[in-house]
Chain A
Amino acid sequence: MKEIVIISGKGGTGKTSITGCFAALAENAVLADCDVDAADLHMLLAPQVMETTDFISGHQAVIREDDCTACGICMEKCKFNAINLTEEGKCRVDPYSCEGCMVCVQVCPVNAIDFPDSLCGEWYFSHTRFGPMVHAKLGIGQENSGKLVSTVRREAAAKAKELEKDLVIVDGPPGIGCPVIASITGASLLVVVTEPTISGKHDMKRVLELAKHFSIPALVIVNKWDINPEMTQEIEKDTVAGGAHPVGRIPYDRSFTVAQINGRTLVEEKTGQAVENITTIWEKIWQTIK
């Protein structure tokens, strides 16, 4: 079983629209959306949810105000400034600042702090017109997005095994931090979608450094390449210098937006230069990995 992860560093380069096209072109794949805090792939693939599972990860400190003596030791020991005094003179945990470290529970002299499991979101197993899909929704402001990403990848791999699929296609999150690292470690191949802008180039370089750091081979697509052909060339040079390979260019095409509005992938929406390029790119990716 092979796993391809599509990432971008910078947001808005067309990563999800292109992932949707790959989902349509792949023949025997499981799809996974690891962009768990702003997941959009489902808007192109219209998954029919078959199973929903709570994602419980970590804990949350909760002070029983009736038992709290407001001695302030927890406030003093909390490294996240997550505990404040209420107007009634009791200690209260701000759930958005609490990282669930349990230090307050440990130091409270009257055992007034509970430490329940934290419900951080949910994940789904679904059917789409292109095959099975695993996706998730992280609760607002929740920690543990990295662990939810790992859960989505693990469940997608398990489904691939169970259903005898030979490929998992992962739509990854933007950035280079915790959820991105959780999305790419151990993957067979990274496909980086960038755009010919200074920001796109800057962010792509950081993503390629990350790929190198984890020794994962990477291919680079320049989307909207004709917005700045010189920058496209520079990016392709930087790709090679960064130890990766350019795999193709896709022109700026307003039809991506139209397809999105219609809830379809571009390859279903129309034919044309962009679709031809995406099809060729997909064939190259498949040749690289199979």
Chain B
Amino acid sequence: MRIAVASGKGGTGKTTVAVALTLASQEPAVYADCDVEEPNGSIFLRPEVDRVEKVLVEVPEIDESKCNACGDCARFCQFNALVSFNTPPLVFSDLCHSCGGCELVCPTGAISWKKVPVGEISFGTSNGGRISVIQGKLDVGGSLAPPVIRQVKAQLTDDVFTVVDSPPGTSCPVIESLGEADYVLLVTEATPFGLHDLKLAVETVRELGTPFSVVINRFDEGDSGVEDYCASEKIHIMVRIPHRREMAEAYSRGGNLFDAIPEMLDVFRNIPVTIEKGVEV
């Protein structure tokens, strides 16, 4: 089973929930960190990393001896990654989506591909080898998270319990992370910001058609807006996590949910069981 943990708003406890879900599992499990701009799962799982792979994307390389400076490639590129002023084109790799269009339209065969790094993926294990941790990390200054996320997802298989920590928001990196998940847990907090961003996240998951439910973190700290919304939309609330200052302090030092609130362990063990039984929206 693959469960993606997501949230519209950042800082609601998405990583805390994803880590807890992985730790609570009594079988071998995979933790896949797809929050590649700011991957934080390893802070709490402390894996022993055994290898790191570069994430490479292909960008065009111009053979100036073959280029006739027609500019067709620059006119075709939808991302403005090639610019030509009646000259061989300049390539702006950061903007390139590696679609292959420029090579397709080049009349003289002057375009080939070179690989450039945009991030890395690390592979490690934690909890005596029971948990595999796969972490994607975007290079600082790199702008395209989706290729890094795609490469993390390419490592995943269907035969092991897998938790995907998704990026916040609702745009392309989130969609990329949620794809192929069997179930989505949307983490929110009981505040107006939490509610507003939860609604966006619900819209996103409903568009994708993946079954989902909600985890309310610090449910007793704010107002009842999230509860009321879930009731009126008939959205199942899987877990309510209480607000405890101990949790904030444990989190600040890299501690996990069960260090601060041990009674949550049984609740989290039960989540995959509940999902298997088919609690849907």
Residues of A within 8 A of B (CB): 8-13, 16, 37-38, 40, 43, 58-59, 77, 79-80, 96, 99-103, 106-107, 138, 140-143, 145-146, 173-181, 195-200, 202-203, 206, 209-210, 213-214, 224, 227-228, 231, 252, 254, 257, 260-261, 263
Best-surrounded residue of B10, B143, B144, B253 (most CB of chain A within 10 A): B10
Q: Is B281 an interface residue (CB 8 A)?
A: no
Distance between Cα atoms of A92 and B170 in the complex (Å): 23
Distance between Cα atoms of A263 and B195 in the complex (Å): 13
**13 pairs of residues in contact across A and B, judged by CB atoms under 8 Å:** A10-B40, A11-B10, A37-B169, A38-B168, A38-B170, A176-B38, A177-B173, A198-B253, A200-B252, A206-B38, A213-B140, A213-B141, A224-B248
Distance between Cα atoms of A108 and B78 in the complex (Å): 17
State the Cβ distance, A253 to closest chain B Cβ, in Å: 13
Are B171 and A37 closer than 8 Å at their CB atoms? Answer: yes
Are B170 and A203 closer than 8 Å at their CB atoms? Answer: no
Q: How large is the interface on B (under 10, 10 to 19, 20 to 34, 35 or more residues)?
A: 35 or more
Which B residues between 40 and 92 are near A, CB-CB below 8 angstroms?
A: 40, 43, 76, 78-79
B172's partner among A142, A181, A224 (CB-CB below 8 A) is A142
Residues of B within 8 A of A (CB): 8-12, 15, 37-38, 40, 43, 76, 78-79, 97-101, 104-105, 138, 140-145, 167-175, 191-193, 196-197, 200, 203-204, 207-208, 221-223, 245, 248-249, 251-254
Are B97 and A197 closer than 8 Å at their CB atoms? Answer: no
Residues of B within 8 A of A142 (CB): 171-172
Known A-B contacts A40-B9, A260-B192; A96 and B40 likewise in contact (beta carbons under 8 Å)? no
Are A177 and B104 closer than 8 Å at their CB atoms? Answer: no
Are B142 and A106 closer than 8 Å at their CB atoms? Answer: no
Residues of B within 8 A of A227 (CB): 245, 248-249, 252
Distance between Cα atoms of A200 and B38 in the complex (Å): 10
Distance between Cα atoms of A59 and B77 in the complex (Å): 12
The 7 A-B residue pairs whose C-beta atoms are closest, nearest first, are A12-B11, A11-B10, A101-B99, A175-B37, A11-B11, A178-B143, A197-B252
Are A177 and B145 closer than 8 Å at their CB atoms? Answer: yes
